Amino acid sequence: MRLQIFKIGGNVIDSPVVLNAFLDTFCSCRERKILVHGGGKLAGELAGELGVPVHMHQGRRITDAPTLRIAVMVYAGWINKSLVAALSARGCRAVGLSGADGCSVITRKRDPEPLDFGFVGDITQSSVDVLFTERLMEDGLVPVFSPITCDPSGQLLNTNADTIASALSMAFKTKYAVSLRYVFDKEGVCCPGSDEPLPLLSRAQYEKLCGEGVVTGGMIPKIENALKALSMGIEEVYIGKTCIQL
């Protein structure tokens, strides 16, 4: 049986037109499916309004206590429930989750050395408990994961959504032929000076583009996760806009 795991980020979430088109396509997918979402502009805007400074390092947010509260409110609250309600209105019975729910994704707070990322959760080999998520899908429900997890002590942690999507793919690959789809508003990964996406991207090409400073920011964890997922036996990984045509 096939399982489609979709990841969307700010590029999709922040545009009502792109988001609605994505949700329509997502609902038209009749296979088992999971949606993983990241953030968007709202967390940064809210941080600005509340006077909480935003710190980034290689596309990953540094999460102090006030930033964690904002992340949980915006990601697991506003964005997650807005997506679930929008899916519900389309006849898709979705269940919005953080990793704490059903203990579905339990992470480890990242080591503060060499750089303290704050309240950030790292996925481990045993992070994903497939049983709860699997049971939801068996019942015809669609899990919608926000990028919030917790550690065994109950500490909520901000967690990269691309990594959650990748970890879910790997956890389910023994049961399903998994397709992992990183959906965003670009056609794919392009070479400098070109709007044409690369039809295929190898690790060697990626490392070259990274070294040249072409691949930067939030694309680094996305491609790292994609390559890792492929090396671990995921059937196929898409990065781009067109992957929403199923």
CA distances from 73 to 38, 70, 166, 195, 238 (A): 13, 5, 24, 36, 29
Query: Is residue 164 involved in binding a second copy (CB under 8 A)?
Result: no
Q: Which helix (H) or strand (E) holds 32?
A: strand 32-37
The CB-of-217 to a second copy minimum distance in angstroms stands at 26
In the chain, the N- to C-terminal Cα span, in Å, equals 16
| Residue range at the interface with a second copy (CB under 8 A); choices 102-110, 187-195, 201-209, 215-223 | 102-110
Q: Which residue has the tokens 């009502």?
A: 16
Specify the residue, 90 or 228, whose C-beta has the smaller distance to a second copy: 90
Encoded one letter per residue, x for contact with a second copy by CB under 8 A and - for no contact, window 107-136 reads -------------------------x--x-
Which residue among 85, 115, 191, 246 contacts a second copy (CB under 8 A)?
Answer: 85
Q: Which of 30, 130, 41, 145 is nearest to 84 (CA)?
A: 145
The CB-of-96 to a second copy minimum distance in angstroms stands at 5
Site for a second copy in 1-60 (CB under 8 A): 49-50
Q: Please state, in angstroms and rounded to a whole number, the distance separating the CA atoms of residues 68 and 104.
A: 20
Q: Helical H runs in 90-202?
A: 130-138, 161-172
User: With CB under 8 A, what is the number of residues at the site for a second copy?
Assistant: 42
Q: What is the DSSP string of 55-91?
A: EEETTEEEB-HHHHHHHIIIIIIIIHHHHHHHHHHTT
| Residue range at the interface with a second copy (CB under 8 A); choices 144-152, 164-172, 180-188, 235-243 | 144-152
The footprint of a second copy (CB under 8 A) covers 49-50, 69, 72-78, 80-82, 84-90, 93-98, 100-103, 106, 132, 135, 139, 141, 148, 150, 152-156
